[in-house]
Amino acid sequence: MARKPRTEMAFKSGDEMIFGTAKFPVTSKRGIKYGGGYVHPTVKPHPRPGSEKTKKTLMREYERMNFDALERMVVVGHPTLVVENEHVYQMTHTPDWGGDIAAQVARQMDDMLAKYGLKSAHTSTIADLRRPESVHMRTSDYLHEMMASFDACSKYSDHVSIESMGGKEVFDYALIRQDMAGILMGIGYLGSIDMEWCWNQIVDICKKNNCIPGGDTNCSEANTAMFMAGGLVSKDVPHVYAALARAISAARTMVAYECGATGPTKDCAYEDPIVKAMTGVPITTEGKTSACGHSDLASNLIAAVCDLWSNEAVEYHDMFGATTTSVFAEILGYDCAQFNCSIDLGLAKEMQTILVNSDAYRDSHSLILVPDNAWAIGNEIVKNTSKGFYTRARAGAMKAGSIILADTKFKLTAFEKEALEDAMKQMEALPEDEGNFLDMAMPKYKKLVPGFNPDSYGLK
Amino acid sequence: MNSKERVLAVLNHQKPDRMPCFTANSTVTYDQMEKVGAYWPEGHDQAEPMAKQAMAAYTILGFDVVRAPFDQMTEAEALGAKVKSGGEKGIPGAAEPPVYTIDDIPPKELPADYLSRARIPELLKAITIMKKELGDEVLIEAGIIGPFSIAAYLLGVTKTLKASLKAPDKLLPFLEISEKAGTALAHALIDAGADIIANEDMTASPDIIMPKSYHDLVYQFQAKQFEEINVPTILHICGDVGSIIEWEGKSGPDILSLEPATDLKLAREIVGPKPIFMGGADAAKVLFMKTPDEVKAACREQVEAGIQILAPGCAVAPGTPTENLIAMVEVAKSYTS
Amino acid sequence: MKFLSDFSNIFKRYDLDTEVKKQEARKISDDPVLDAIGKFVVEGEAEDIEAPVKKALETKAPMDVINDGLVKGMNEVSRLWDEGVYFLPQVILAADAMNAGIALCEAKMGKAMDRKGKVVTHTAEGDIHDIGQVIANALLNAGGFEVINLGCDCPVDTVVATVKAEKPIMVTGTALMTTTMTAFPKICHQLEAAGIVIPFISGGGAVAEEWSTSFPLSIWGKEDGWSCGLAEDALAGMGWEDMRSKWNG
- Can you give the CATH number for the domain in which C47 is found? 1.10.1240.10
- Domain B3-334 matching CATH 3.20.20.210: the answer reads yes
Question: What distance in Å separates residue B206's CA from the closest CA in chain C?
Answer: 8
Chain B hits for A177, CB-CB cut-off 8 Å, are 246, 270, 272
**pLDDT for residue A105:** 98
Last residue of a domain, one of C65, C80, C109: C109
Q: What is the CATH number of the domain that holds A278?
A: 3.20.20
| pLDDT of C24 over the 90 cut | no
Q: Are residues C124 and C221 in the same domain?
A: yes
Q: Is A7 contained in some domain?
A: no
Q: What does the pLDDT look like over A324-382, one tens digit per residue? A: 999 999 999 999 999 999 999 999 999 999 999 999 999 999 999 999 999 999 999 99
Q: Closest approach of chain C CAs to the CA of A17, in angstroms?
A: 12
Q: How many CB pairs under 8 A join A and C?
A: 39
Residue of A nearest to C2 (CA): A353
Chain B (308-327) residues lying within 8 Å, Cβ to Cβ, of chain C:
317-320
Closest Cβ opposite residue B273 in set A177, A236, A450 = A450
**What is the nearest CA distance from B191 to chain A, expressed in angstroms?**
31
Q: Are residues C137 and C174 in the same domain?
A: yes
Q: What is the Cα gyration radius of chain B?
A: 19
B215/B199 Cα distance (integer angstroms): 17
d(CA C102, CA C203): 27
User: What is the chain B residue with the closest CA to A237?
Assistant: B270
Instruction: Give A37-83 pLDDT, tens digit per residue.
Output: 999 999 999 999 999 999 999 999 999 999 999 999 999 999 999 99
Indicate the number of domains in chain A.
Answer: 1
CB contact under 8 A, C205 and B284: yes
Backbone torsions φ then ψ of C122, nearest 5 degrees: -155, 160
Measured distance CA(C217)–CA(C230) in Å, rounded: 13
In order of B175, B205, B272, the CA distances from B246 in angstroms are 21, 13, 9
CA distance C110 to chain B (A): 30
Mean of pLDDT values over B10-24: 95
Say what the pLDDT of residue B135 is: 96
Name the β-bridge partners of B65: B139
Domain range for A406 is 21-457
pTM confidence score: 0.61
Give the tens place of pLDDT for each residue, A280-319. 999 999 999 999 999 999 999 999 999 999 999 999 999 9
Residues of B in contact with A134 (CB under 8 A): none
Mutate which: B269, B270, B271, B274, vs A, most A CBs within 10 A = B269
Q: Are residues C241 and C149 in the same domain?
A: yes
Alpha-carbon gap: C130 to the closest alpha carbon of chain B (Å): 8
Question: B66: part of which helix (H) or strand (E)?
Answer: strand B65-68
Q: Which chains touch B (3 or more CB pairs under 8 A)?
A: A, C
Least confident of A69-78, A335-344, A450-459, C172-181: C172-181
- Closest alpha carbon to A226 in A283, A302, A277: A302
C99 and C123 share one domain: no
Rounded to a whole number of angstroms, the distance from the CA of C3 to the nearest CA of chain A is: 6
C52 vs C78: which has the higher pLDDT: C52
Report whether C15 contacts A233 (CB < 8 A): yes
Identify the chains in contact with C, defined as 3+ C-beta pairs within 8 A: A, B
The answer as to whether A5 is a domain residue is no
Strand ranges of the sheet holding C170-174, from the earlier edge strand across to the other edge: C146-149, C118-123, C170-174, C200-203, C218-221
Which residues are bridge partners to A138 per DSSP?
Answer: none
For B143, list phi and psi in degrees, rounded to 5: -105, 140
H/E element, C183: helix C183-193
Q: Which residues of B touch A (CB under 8 A)?
A: 246, 266, 269-270, 272-273
How are beta strands C170-174 and C200-203 bridged, if at all? parallel
In chain B, residues 14-33 whose CB comes closer than 8 Å to chain C? none
CA distance C190 to C187: 5
Instruction: Give C138 or C108, the one with higher predicted confidence.
Output: C108
The domain tally of chain C equals 2
A248-252, A392-396, B96-100, C17-21: least confident range: C17-21
C12 inside domain: no
Q: Which of C42, C75, C109 is the last residue of a domain?
A: C109
Residue C8 lies in a domain: no
Cα B131 to Cα B21, B22, B51, B67: the distances in Å are: 19, 16, 10, 11
CA distance B224 to chain C (A): 25
CB B44 within 8 A of CB B26: no
At residue B81, does pLDDT exceed 90? yes
Same domain as C144, residue C69:
no
What are the backbone angles phi and psi of residue B200, rounded to the nearest 5°? -100, 125
Instruction: Give me the sheet containing B65-68, strands edge to edge.
Output: B65-68, B139-145, B196-200, B233-236, B255-257, B276-279, B309-310
Pair (C128, C239) in one structural domain: yes
Name which residue leads in pLDDT, C113 or A20: A20
Please state the three-class secondary structure of B24-52 as a single string.
CCCCCCHHHHHHHCCCCCHHHHCHHHHHH
Please check whether residues C80 and C172 belong to one and the same domain: no
Average pLDDT of every residue of chain B: 94
Separation CA B25–CA B10 (nearest Å): 19
* Burial annotation B85-124 (CB, 10 A radius, 16+ → b, else e): ebeeebbbbbeeebbbebeeebeeebeeebbebbbbebbb
Q: Check C127 against B93: CB less than 8 A apart.
A: yes
* Predicted pLDDT at B91: 87
Q: Is the pLDDT of residue A237 over 90?
A: no
Judge: A176–B269 Cβ closer than 8 Å, yes or no: yes
Task: Report the run of H or E that residue B142 belongs to, with start and end.
Answer: strand B139-145
- C157 and C238 assigned to the same domain: yes
- Asked if A266 and A163 count as a contact pair (C-beta separation under 8 A), the reply is yes
- For the segment B136-140, the average pLDDT, to the nearest whole number, is 97
Confidence category of residue C128, pLDDT binned at 50, 70, 90: low
Per-residue CA distances from A260 to A121, A214, A257 (Å): 20, 9, 5
B49 and B129 Cβ atoms separated by less than 8 Å: no
3-state SS assignment for residue B83:
strand
Helix-then-strand count for chain B, H and E: 15, 9
Q: Does A414 touch chain B (CB under 8 A)?
A: no
Within a domain: A99: yes
Cβ burial, residue B44 (10 Å; 0-12/13-18/19+): buried
In a domain, A16, yes or no: no
Q: Are B154 and B106 in contact (CB under 8 A)?
A: yes
| Rounded distance between C-alpha atoms, residue C82 and residue C225, angstroms | 7
Ranges of each domain in chain B: 3-334
Residue contact A371–C1, C-beta within 8 A: yes
Tell me, yes or no, whether C179 lies in a domain.
Answer: yes
**Does A75 reside within a domain?**
yes
Q: What is the DSSP string of B198-223?
A: EEE-GGGSTTTS-HHHIIIIIHHHHH
Please name the member of A233, A353, A413 whose beta carbon is closest to the beta carbon of C1: A353
Per the CB < 8 A criterion, the answer to whether C94 and C124 are in contact is: no
B288 reaches C (C-beta below 8 A): yes
Domain extent, residue C91, equals 19-109
Select the residue of A232, A360, A416 nearest C14 (Cβ to Cβ): A232
| C158 is a domain residue | yes
Query: How large a percentage of chain A has pLDDT more than 90?
Result: 93
Other C-beta atoms lying within 10 Å of the C-beta of residue B137: 13
Asked if the Cβ–Cβ distance from A232 to C1 is below 8 Å, we say no
C130 and C81, same structural domain? Answer: no
Mutate to test the interface with B, among C127, C128, C154 (most CBs of B within 10 A): C128
Tally the C-alpha atoms within 13 A of residue A164's C-alpha that lie toward its C-beta.
31
Band (A278; pLDDT cuts 50, 70, 90): very high
Chain B residue numbers with beta carbons less than 8 Å from the beta carbon of C210 are 289
CA dist B263 and B253 (Å) reads: 19
Q: How many residue contacts between B and C have a Cβ separation below 8 Å?
A: 74
Residue B265: band (very low, low, confident or very high) from pLDDT cuts 50, 70, 90: confident
Same domain, C101 and C134: no
Do C88 and C28 belong together in one domain? yes
Tell me if C1 is assigned to some domain.
no
Rounded mean pLDDT, C155-164 = 93
Residues C24 and C145 in one domain: no
Q: Count other Cβ atoms within 10 Å, centred on residue A211.
A: 23
Specify the amino acid at residue C96. Answer: D
Helix axes A192-209, A389-406, angle to 10 degrees: 110
pLDDT score recorded for residue A419? 92
Partners of B273 on chain A (C-beta within 8 Å) are 450
Q: Residues near A286 by Cβ (< 8 Å), separated by ≥ 6?
A: A267, A268, A302, A309, A310, A311, A312
